């Protein structure tokens, strides 16, 4: 059973016990999600969607249609969850969600480092572990849907390109909207039925997300008060500076909570994101130079907009995932060129190292001597070193140098950085 899903949260009193408390990710799980770039709001939507999905359908303790709530083997496997179908489903949905998130993170990290992704091996190993477990019918259904998101009918590994694609595949395999949102962590804006409800505080206008069947706490309303900061950027009257300040304050609170729990790795990752925003917005000491910030603002301010709840992001060409604003800024600041998807079209974005006035013709190796890589990512010089070794190996194996050069360029590298002995 996942950590944080203990029975102090779910007090079982019978076969049809419902999940009454909000499902909450553990500090370790929250740290992983922050590391992946997930927003606090999306994490809370996922928690609420898991609780909503856990109460959907017929809650029963059957295996192949037969009651197994008193089966000693099921008790040995699942403990008290053997008689609490709603809590059991919430637990299994959360496990599947973290598994899918892990696969997406591995793909994203591999794309950032320019290496082969280990997501396939990871997914296969975790799926085999879950397959080997004894499962109730509700768990078997969730397992089958999760597997269908990553494997075709022939059993071949066919990874989805994005969380949206995970959501779509889950829906195609028979999941409800709440189940698809709970497992994928994706909450499409176009759906009228959601796994959560949003409420606003009458006192300060702050918003919360709850399972659809939960009543809001006193002092909260389902109708967004006029002028309240909310999730809809079109009706959010706050200035960019106010939004920046609110986001920094939210992250400060999360950093303090993570540090109090001893989760220093997650706290440091979030601190880096906070400092990136403060540097970019002028709330802290300058990053790089004022010329860099001014150039970035001139190029991308109108595109990214003033809001972080619904910006017009570029996407990673490999994972098809949005590149968060602050991560894109850091990549741009330290890169010579960036390959991104812009409205589904692959394009090369010139980085600051290429556009700066001091020496716009410098190579990647020259430009990244003072580069500070993002957490869990290699620097561009490290990626270049790996690519150089691969290029030399290809030439040594007999591949024509001109073909190797073409592969080099397709990977986004300049011929100025091609191994000198083969130029």
Distance from C-alpha of 30 to C-alpha of 43, rounded to nearest angstrom:
8
Write the DSSP symbol of residue 22.
P
Distance from C-alpha of 113 to C-alpha of 56, rounded to nearest angstrom:
41
| Closest by CA position to 160, among listed 174, 148, 178 | 148
Distance from C-alpha of 33 to C-alpha of 371, rounded to nearest angstrom:
25
Distance from C-alpha of 315 to C-alpha of 340, rounded to nearest angstrom:
6
pLDDT in tens, 284-312: 433 344 567 666 766 666 666 543 345 67
Distance from C-alpha of 68 to C-alpha of 82, rounded to nearest angstrom:
8
Label the pairing between strands 66-67 and 62-63: antiparallel
Residue 215 has pLDDT above 90, yes or no: no
| Closest by CA position to 62, among listed 148, 2, 13, 134 | 134
pLDDT in tens, 146-195: 999 999 888 899 988 888 889 999 999 999 999 999 999 988 876 667 88
Neighbours of 289 (CB within 10 A): 13
Share of the chain above pLDDT 70, in %: 71
| Closest by CA position to 21, among listed 57, 56, 48 | 48
Predicted confidence at residue 46, as pLDDT, reads 93
Predicted confidence at residue 229, as pLDDT, reads 55
């Amino acid at each position: 059973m996942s950590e944080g899903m203990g029975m102090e949260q779910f007090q079982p009193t019978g076969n049809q016990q419902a999940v009454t408390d909000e499902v909450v990710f553990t500090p370790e799980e929250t740290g992983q999600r922050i590391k992946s770039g997930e927003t606090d709001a999306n994490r809370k939507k996922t928690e609420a969607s898991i609780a909503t999905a856990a109460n959907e359908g017929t809650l029963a303790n059957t295996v192949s249609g037969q009651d197994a709530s008193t089966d000693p083997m099921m008790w040995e496997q699942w403990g008290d969850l053997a008689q609490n179908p709603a809590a059991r489903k919430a637990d299994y949905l959360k496990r599947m969600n973290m598994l899918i998130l892990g696969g997406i993170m591995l793909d994203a990290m591999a794309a950032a480092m320019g290496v082969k992704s280990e997501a396939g091996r990871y997914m296969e190993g975790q799926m085999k572990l879950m397959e080997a477990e004894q499962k109730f019918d509700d768990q078997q259904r969730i397992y089958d849907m999760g597997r269908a998101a990553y494997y075709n009918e022939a059993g071949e590994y066919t990874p989805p390109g994005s969380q949206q694609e995970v959501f779509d595949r889950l829906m195609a395999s028979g999941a409800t909207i709440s189940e698809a949102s709970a497992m994928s962590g994706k909450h499409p804006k176009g759906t009228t039925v959601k796994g959560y409800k949003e409420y606003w505080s009458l006192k300060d206008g702050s918003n919360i997300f709850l399972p659809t069947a939960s009543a809001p706490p006193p002092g909260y309303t389902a109708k967004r008060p006029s002028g309240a900061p909310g999730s809809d950027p079109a009706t959010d009257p706050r200035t960019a500076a106010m939004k920046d300040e609110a986001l920094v304050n939210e992250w400060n609170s999360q950093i303090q909570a993570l540090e109090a729990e001893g989760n220093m790795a997650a706290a440091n990752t979030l601190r880096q994101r906070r400092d990136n925003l403060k540097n970019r917005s002028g709330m802290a000491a300058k990053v790089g130079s004022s010329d860099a910030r001014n150039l970035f603002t001139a190029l991308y301010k109108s595109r990214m907009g003033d809001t972080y709840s619904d910006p017009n992001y570029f996407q990673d060409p490999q994972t098809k995932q949005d590149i968060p604003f602050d991560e894109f800024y850091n990549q741009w600041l330290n890169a010579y060129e960036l390959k991104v998807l812009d409205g589904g079209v692959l394009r090369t974005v010139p980085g600051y190292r290429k556009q700066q006035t001091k020496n716009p013709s410098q190579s990647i190796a020259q430009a990244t001597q003072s580069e500070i890589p993002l957490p869990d990512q290699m620097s561009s010089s490290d990626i270049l070193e790996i690519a150089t070794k691969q290029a030399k190996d290809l030439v040594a194996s007999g591949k024509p140098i001109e073909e190797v050069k073409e592969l080099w360029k397709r990977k986004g590298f300049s011929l100025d950085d091609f191994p000198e002995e083969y130029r």
